[in-house]
Amino acid sequence: MNEHIVFFREFLTEFKSTGSAIPSSPWAAKAMTNSLRRTTRPQNILEVGPGTGPVTVKILEDMIDGDKLTICELNPSFMQALQKKLSKDENFNRHKENITFFQGPVQELPTEEIFDVIICAIPFTNLPVSAVEDIFKKLELCSHRNTHITFFEYIGLRQIGRIASIKERRERLDRVSQFFETLEAKYKKETKRVWLNFTPINVHTLVPSEEAA
């Protein structure tokens, strides 16, 4: 089945965890993978929430010998569609010995691996703040002090949501915003705007303070 159809179907049935009706654009995928290209040394990479794989394909393009990749996806339909698509991808087949899949919530990913780069596409603004906190707790558990953690948010969504939503949703969005502020106190945050995406996004990367200085 065409990946746009798979994505739209999951958007309708699993709206909260899918977050968007259309997969990310190539420009968004490039911005989400910027951290991979900051070194020529092999890296251990975690991708969370690949969906139908637009970011995965870009990661695979950039993978070098010695890199390792773990792909974690909550939704079994996405995981199935992704594995089917990747089986025909030349870059996947070149690196497949170093790629593992985990189907389930990232909160349940086994923690024996520590990653250099984490690329997370979970739609945080759809989630209760307790879930956002649990997910970041997990990402921090899988990190070392130089790990780059990249995630995104739809531009203006929290602000529009605050104005246009019912009280409950407004309060939830406020708590998510407060949580993001606590991250900014701990990390330096680099942000890249991507306008060529449905809908435009801010791609945030939490970087170790000394590197961002």
Contact positions toward ligand SAM, by CB under 6 A?
17-20, 23-24, 48-51, 54-55, 72-75, 78, 105-106, 121-123
What is d(CA 194, CA 127) in angstroms, rounded to the nearest whole number? 22
CB of residue 18 to ligand SAM, shortest distance in Å: 5
Q: Which is nearer to ligand SAM, 21 or 183 (CB)?
A: 21
**CB count, 10 Å around CB of 111?**
9
Q: Which is nearer to ligand SAM, 44 or 53 (CB)?
A: 53
CB of residue 9 to ligand SAM, shortest distance in Å: 12
CB of residue 142 to ligand SAM, shortest distance in Å: 13
CB of residue 123 to ligand SAM, shortest distance in Å: 5
DSSP bridge partners of 194 = 201
**CB count, 10 Å around CB of 93?**
13
Alpha-carbon distances of 49 from 54, 134, 140, 146, rounded to whole Å: 11, 15, 17, 22
Residue 128 φ/ψ, nearest 5 degrees? -65, 150
Query: Is beta strand 99-103 parallel, antiparallel or unpaired with respect to 68-73?
Result: parallel
Q: Which is nearer to ligand SAM, 107 or 209 (CB)?
A: 107
Q: Which is nearer to ligand SAM, 6 or 207 (CB)?
A: 6
